[in-house]
Amino acid sequence: MPPAEHSEWNWIDDVRRRAGSGPRVAIGIGDDTALLKTSTATLVTTDMLMDGVDFVVGETPADLIGRKCLAVNLSDIAAMAGRPTGAVVSLALPRRGGRALAEGLYDGLLRLAQESGCPIVGGDTNSWDGPLVVNVAVLGEPTGRGAVTRAGARPGDRVFVTGPVGGSLPSLRHCTFRPRLSEAQALHQCVELHAMLDLSDGLSSDLFHIVEASQVGIELDAGAIPIHDDVAPGQPHADRLNHALSDGEDFELLFCVSEEDAQTLLSQPPGGVELYSIGRCVPEPGVWLLGADSRRPLGRGGWEHRFT
């Protein structure tokens, strides 16, 4: 029989005390369900992250694992220009060392929850003989003009990203990035966002989501793509560009706006928002990479979960 302080109920009580509450939380952790006071429209997103795929237990600090598991969901809310209202967290913990691992995970989870105004309002905890699996679901509400989708890009639109890309995995930036919630809302207030998503699988892959949803094409200016300093500067430029296109897990925002609104953003960027204009939408479906004197089709790169 484990000591009382190691019991599931003791653990839930500890998490409930640490999670606190928020203005939209009518009922939080401890009941059969949480009760959130939200607008009539609700954004819902969920991600499952696994040891050996999205992080490596023993190599990645536990608090950064917990942080990432919440951050990737908050990034999805940002991609819709939304505001998070609450999160539920489910853990499948390895039996050996599970309690210490859970405590580390929640250090990172609760810290980011407080920073982002997204209270953790419930979830589930289990243990098994397998590796760590974490599932987080975040609820949110639209802001401003409503939810921004991937489907509104138009020929003539300018394409932007909110920061440099590439090299996120070796640097652990995939665990420490800041979800672009405030940037998305600032942009949403300033201009009409025609389409937007967050860069999770890689620029060369995620572009196709907008292309297919909006039924447009995109021409990328190879010289305008911002390459992150985490990509080794000693590599040939072509290799560094390939990292920027394909590495993934940058979690910057990729968005499309009219030419007029693009000029507004470039001349008067909203406070604190970093902006890079990297291309244009065109009528012809597909994605192309423009060099100084070339135009070539760009295939899907980046990450893809494969199964049979």
Binding residues, as ranges, are 32, 45-47, 54, 76, 106, 123-124, 150, 198, 200-201, 249, 303
| Rg of the chain on CA atoms, in Å | 21
Task: For residue 92, give every residue at least 6 positions away whose Cβ sits within 8 Å of its Cβ, in sequence order, or none.
Answer: 126, 127, 128, 130, 132, 133, 134
Residues tagged in the binding site annotation for Mg(2+): 32, 45-47, 76, 124, 198, 201
Half-sphere exposure of 77 (CA within 13 A, CB side): 31
Residues tagged in the binding site annotation for substrate: 54, 249, 303
DSSP string, 141-164: EE-TT----SS---TT-EEEESS-
- What's at 154, amino acid-wise? R
Residues tagged in the binding site annotation for ATP: 106, 123-124, 150, 200
Distance CA 214, CA 60 (A): 38
Distance CA 166, CA 226 (A): 9
Structural tokens at position 183: 């940037």
Cβ neighbour number for residue 98 with a 10 Å cutoff: 19
- Contact yes or no for 125/8 (Cβ under 8 A): yes
Rounded to the nearest 5 degrees, what angle is found at the Cα of 245, between the Cα atoms of 198 and 73? Answer: 20
